[in-house]
Amino acid sequence: MTDREREIVAAVVGAVIGGAAGYVLFTDRGRELRRRIEPELENFAHELMQLRGTVRRAMGVASQGWQVINETVGDRARGGAFPGLDEARPF
């Protein structure tokens, strides 16, 4: 894609975005559409925040799980259940 083609694409995308913004902000039907969409966007933002919290909790649980596994494997290695385990560790 040449620089000229990029300029044309950027101009067209800018015109479309500007036209949509003008419609939503300055026309009666656009304002009505915006008023109907705003509550849905707020609900969507709320759902995203809940998802974020859920992912954080899942990461915390996974971290605790790995910690328990590491402690268990470490205890077995020190206790002699797997005598060659220390030799197999790369770190």
* The predicted structure's pLDDT at residue 89: 54
Q: In which band, very low, low, confident or very high, does the pLDDT at 75 lie, cut at 50, 70 and 90?
A: low
What pTM value is reported for the model?
0.50
**Burial level of 57, CB count in 10 A (0-12/13-18/19+)?**
exposed
pLDDT at 7 over 60: yes
Q: In which band, very low, low, confident or very high, does the pLDDT at 79 lie, cut at 50, 70 and 90?
A: low
For 80, phi and psi rounded to 5 degrees? 95, 5
pLDDT at 80 over 90: no
Total domains in the fold of the chain = 1
Domain residues for the domain of 44 are 3-88
Distance CA 78, CA 73 (A): 9
User: Mean per-residue pLDDT for 64-89?
Assistant: 68
